[in-house]
Amino acid sequence: MTQPFPALTLREFGDDLAQVFHDINAEWITAMFRLEDTDRAVLENPRARIIAPGGTILFVAAADLGVIGTCALQRTGDGAFELTKMGVRESARGRKAGTFLLDAVIARAATLGARTLYLLTSSRCAPAIHLYEKAGFRHDAQIMAQYGARYERCDVAMRYAPGPP
């Protein structure tokens, strides 16, 4: 039987990976948008902004390239988590690293007790939106109203709701 994600492994956040978290996210954000103050606050202080309040940051590594992607779960309330800062290095795209990472983050959200798992993005990120939809995220006006104002670029809000739409 073939492995669905050959040569990909999951890594946990450690302070030694803080700069990698910053760099992977700054790469995709600046390629499409501009870094906003909210981005900088999280990317420059991942332990204080993500880990300390009860969230997590995961990384995906490829045997031949090292760490190639990352994603965070940021606790935003009692049982509420934002899936945020998900990116894969452009040089490593096409290896299904995003799918591998998204599956791992959704599983981790469950272990953290997430009752609400949501994400905020931009319609300019069409490939990512398609990935999220395939994983069980659904467009959600309530999430947009409650959380969407955090980013200027946000015009899509989604809630994890696996099963038929």
What is the DSSP secondary-structure string of 9-74?
EEEE--GGGHHHHHHHHHHHHHHHS---HHHHHHHH-HIIIIITTT-EEEEEEETTTEEEEEEEEE
The count of residues in the chain is 165
The yes/no answer on whether domain 8-160 falls in CATH 3.40.630.30 is yes
Threshold 0.75, pTM exceeds: yes
**In tens digits, what is the pLDDT along the chain, a chain of 165 residues?**
445 566 899 999 999 999 999 999 999 999 999 999 999 999 999 999 999 999 999 999 999 999 999 999 999 999 999 999 999 999 898 889 999 999 999 999 999 999 999 999 999 999 999 999 999 999 999 999 998 877 788 899 999 997 665
Block residue for tokens 């996210």: 25
How confident is the model at residue 2, as a pLDDT? 46
